[in-house]
């Protein structure tokens, strides 16, 4: 077993080293960064973080990103729930084709959609709003949510549906009061993955925003200026984009394996 | 039990259908529209028929040459990262602790790279690999290795491959770990009674049990690496020269950089068709596996 521990530990070190380097850089001054290489900050500074938290053009980037991620997650999971139920419980005309078509959208390259989305959202007047990004991310998150939820719903015995019907529950009442609590885990897992893929996507988010709704990951590119790179600030902004993900992972850590166990993601 | 046939289920699927169609079909129509037209700017378009497609698939033309080169790089990249990530992912998953606090800690740390925005992943590696301020670049240079991802083709490729391994192997690990967890202890006990070696356990019990999640892992990794854009774009910008210009990068360059809408649209459609084909093959294999498991899927 010693060999396996070695594999695991060295892999995790490999994962953490670049992240450590980013954190390390964010706590240094620019003179120290560009000077001789130091393994840890000699002149510890929090100026980079203070700048981000006090300058609204910086911290609003986080607000925008969180806004569209949350809107997208809510839309995706809400719409996907009834659809996943339908796929899991019924056969209907074109169901297999529809399911496959949905899945292909999860696989469609964002680069193909960048330009048409730009035209589309400009035409409907949503360009440069968080709604444009939230809706655009539905392209891959809705199919993903349907896929994950379908797996969880298929795990609920259909006898429960029938029992509720005999007990006189109307369908909507049953769905909201009994069924949704039953697949709470599944909704959590689906929401986690919607959050994840919306949070990490940049190409569409950058194409669909200009000024008002620019997410942090697009603002980061601003650190290149005439005076050269502001490495410390760039690193601090990068570190802060890792934090929300880390928090979310911490909360869902026990469900991640379960969600993957369905082999759906 | 056989699922009942009920066309009213369509009403439940309708919202999903509408929103995905709005985001997928409408833009694709625009793409089709552009792909058969040419423009001299000023929003004046004229009919070009299948001219762009002819040019794209004609390998001697400038566009066709670019396309085939980018596609070759895409396939090479996907092949290489699958070759590394799948075995590495299996190895790490096998090394995962079975119980206790170490499980949670490992899971959280493993999942961390998956939730970093893709351009930040690019930035991390861009900085990490720099010879002046990055640990990796500095370390390699001081060891006397000639490493510079800005000018060296090999160094650029190695950097983006290591970056992708760093970024996505965790996904393979988590999938395999979930597959391993589903093996009942009785299987291992039986193996121990038979005196099976570690290798025999792996071949006869663990690998077959993981086969389904492995198909999914290969599918996801292939697809996502095939449409990779942000990370190599941030690290190398497609360079040095065109050495790391993948189809996505080229596509964005043509569409949003040069505003060659016709060419970009034709390229998009062919690119999409390739992905659709591969997706279909995997989907067929996957549903085949699932039906062998005795689990009916739509």
Using one digit for the tens of pLDDT, what is the confidence trace for B122-138? 888 988 888 888 888 88
Distance from the Cα of A9 to chain B's closest Cα (Å) equals 9
Q: Which CATH number fits domain B71-292: 2.40.40.20, 3.40.50.300, 1.10.3720.10, 1.10.10.60?
A: 1.10.3720.10
Using one digit for the tens of pLDDT, what is the confidence trace for A5-33? 888 999 999 999 999 999 988 888 887 87
Cβ burial, residue B69 (10 Å; 0-12/13-18/19+) = middle
In chain A, CATH 1.10.3720.10 sits at 55-261
| Chain A, nearest residue to B115 by Cα | A245
Distance from the Cα of B130 to chain A's closest Cα (Å) equals 11
Q: What is the rounded distance in angstroms from the CA atom of residue B234 to the CA atom of residue A63?
A: 23
Q: Which of residues 81-120 of A touch B (CB under 8 A)?
A: 82-83, 85-93, 95-96, 98-100, 102-105, 107-117, 119-120
- The predicted pLDDT at position B297 comes to 42
Query: Other C-beta atoms within 10 Å of B185: how many?
Result: 8
Q: Which of residues 30-49 of A touch B (CB under 8 A)?
A: 33-34, 37, 39
User: What pairing do the DSSP bridges indicate for beta strands B45-47 and B37-39?
Assistant: antiparallel
pLDDT band, residue B294 (cuts 50/70/90): very low
- The predicted pLDDT at position A13 comes to 92
Using one digit for the tens of pLDDT, what is the confidence trace for B196-244? 888 888 888 888 878 877 887 888 888 888 888 888 888 888 778 788 8
Tokens coding B152: 């060296």
With an 8 Å Cβ cutoff, are A21 and B256 in contact?
Answer: no
pLDDT at A205 over 80: yes
Cβ burial, residue A46 (10 Å; 0-12/13-18/19+) = exposed
Q: What is the 3-state secondary structure (H, E, C) of chain B?
A: CCCCECCCHHHHHHHHHHHHHHHHHHHHHHHHHHHCEEECCCCCEEECCCHHHHHHHCCCCHHHHHHHHHHHHHHHHHHHHHHHHHHHHHHHHHHCCCCCHHHHHHHHHHHHHHHCCHHHHHHHHHHHHCCCCCHHHHHHHHCCCCCCCCCCHHHHHHHHHHHHHHHHHHHHHHHHHHHHHCCCHHHHHHHHHCCCCHHHHHHHHHHHHHHHHHHHHHHHHHHHHHCCCHHHHHHCCCCCCCCCCCHHHHHHHHHHHCCCHHHHHHHHHHHHHHHHHHHHHHHHHHHHHHHHCCCCCC
Q: Which of residues 161-190 of A touch B (CB under 8 A)?
A: none
Q: Which of residues 128-147 of A touch B (CB under 8 A)?
A: 135-136, 138-139, 142-143, 146
Q: What number of residues does chain B have?
A: 298
Instruction: Provide the sign of the torsion angle of the four alpha carbons A60, A218, B163, B115, taken in this order.
Output: positive
By Cβ distance, the residue of A34, A87, A248 closest to B115 is A248
Q: Which residues contact B281 (CB under 8 A, 6 or more apart)?
A: none
With an 8 Å Cβ cutoff, are B17 and A87 in contact?
Answer: no
* ipTM confidence: 0.84
- The predicted pLDDT at position A227 comes to 57
Mutate to test the interface with A, among B3, B4, B15, B16 (most CBs of A within 10 A): B16
| Chain B, nearest residue to A101 by Cα | B276
| Residue range B17-26: mean pLDDT, rounded | 87
Using one digit for the tens of pLDDT, what is the confidence trace for B28-49? 888 888 888 776 666 667 777 7
Query: Any idea where the domains of chain B sit in the sequence?
Result: 71-292
With an 8 Å Cβ cutoff, are A103 and B283 in contact?
Answer: yes
Q: What is the rounded distance in angstroms from the CA atom of residue B269 to the CA atom of residue A212?
A: 32
Q: What is the rounded distance in angstroms from the CA atom of residue A83 to the CA atom of residue A86?
A: 5
Mutate to test the interface with A, among B13, B279, B287 (most CBs of A within 10 A): B13
Distance from the Cα of B28 to chain A's closest Cα (Å) equals 7
State the count of interchain CB pairs (< 8 A) between A and B. 287
DSSP 8-state symbol, A41? -
pLDDT band, residue A228 (cuts 50/70/90): low
CATH fold of A55-261: MetI-like fold (1.10.3720)
Residues of chain A in contact with residue B179, where contact means CB-CB under 8 angstroms, are 261, 263
A238 Cβ under 8 Å from any chain B Cβ: yes
């Amino acid at each position: 077993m010693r060999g396996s521990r070695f594999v695991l530990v060295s892999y995790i070190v490999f994962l953490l080293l670049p992240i450590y380097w980013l954190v390390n850089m964010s706590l240094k001054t620019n003179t120290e960064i560009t000077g001789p290489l130091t393994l840890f900050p000699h002149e510890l500074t929090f100026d980079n973080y203070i700048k981000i938290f006090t300058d609204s053009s910086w911290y609003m980037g986080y607000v925008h990103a969180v806004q569209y991620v949350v809107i997208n997650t809510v839309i995706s999971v809400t719409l996907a729930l009834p659809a996943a139920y339908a796929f899991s419980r019924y056969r209907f005309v074109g169901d297999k084709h529809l399911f496959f078509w949905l899945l292909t959208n999860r696989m469609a390259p964002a680069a193909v959609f960048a330009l048409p989305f730009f035209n589309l959202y400009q035409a409907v007047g949503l360009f440069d709003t968080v709604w444009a990004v939230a809706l655009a991310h539905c392209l891959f998150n809705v199919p993903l949510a349907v896929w994950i939820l379908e797996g969880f719903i298929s795990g609920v015995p259909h006898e429960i549906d029938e029992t509720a019907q005999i007990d006189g529950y109307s369908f909507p009442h049953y769905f909201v009061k009994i069924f949704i609590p039953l697949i709470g885990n599944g909704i959590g897992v689906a929401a986690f993955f919607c959050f994840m893929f919306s949070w990490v996507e940049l190409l569409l988010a950058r194409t669909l925003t200009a000024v008002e709704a620019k997410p942090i990951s697009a603002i980061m590119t601003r650190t290149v200026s005439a005076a050269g790179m502001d490495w410390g600030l760039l690193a601090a902004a990068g570190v802060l984009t890792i934090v929300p993900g880390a928090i979310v992972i911490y909360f869902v850590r026990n469900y991640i394996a379960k969600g993957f166990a369905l082999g759906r993601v | 039990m056989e699922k009942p046939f009920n066309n009213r289920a369509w009403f439940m699927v309708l919202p999903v259908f509408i929103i995905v169609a709005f985001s997928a079909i409408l833009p694709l129509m625009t793409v089709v529209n552009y792909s058969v037209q040419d423009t001299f700017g000023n929003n004046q378009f004229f009919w070009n028929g299948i001219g762009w497609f002819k040019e794209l698939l004609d390998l001697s033309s400038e566009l066709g040459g670019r396309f085939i080169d980018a596609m070759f790089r895409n396939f090479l990249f996907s092949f290489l990262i699958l070759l590394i990530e799948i075995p590495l992912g299996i190895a790490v998953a096998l090394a995962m602790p079975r119980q206790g606090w170490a499980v949670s800690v490992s899971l959280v740390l493993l999942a961390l790279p998956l939730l970093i925005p893709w351009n930040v992943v690019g930035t991390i590696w861009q900085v990490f690999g720099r010879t002046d301020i990055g640990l990796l670049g500095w370390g390699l240079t001081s060891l006397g290795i000639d490493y510079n991802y800005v000018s060296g083709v090999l160094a650029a490729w190695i950097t983006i491959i290591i970056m992708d391994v760093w970024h996505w192997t965790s996904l393979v690990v988590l999938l395999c770990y979930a597959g391993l967890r589903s093996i009942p202890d009785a299987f291992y006990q039986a193996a121990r009674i038979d005196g099976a070696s570690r290798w025999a356990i792996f071949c006869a019990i663990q690998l077959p049990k993981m086969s389904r999640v492995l198909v999914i892992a290969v599918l996801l990794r292939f697809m996502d690496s095939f449409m990779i854009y942000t990370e190599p774009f941030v690290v190398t910008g497609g360079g040095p020269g065109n050495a790391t210009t993948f189809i996505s990068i080229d596509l964005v360059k043509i569409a949003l950089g040069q505003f060659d809408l016709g060419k970009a649209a034709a390229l998009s459609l062919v690119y999409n068709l390739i992905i659709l084909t591969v997706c279909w093959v995997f989907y067929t294999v996957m549903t085949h596996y699932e039906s062998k498991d005795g689990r009916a899927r739509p």
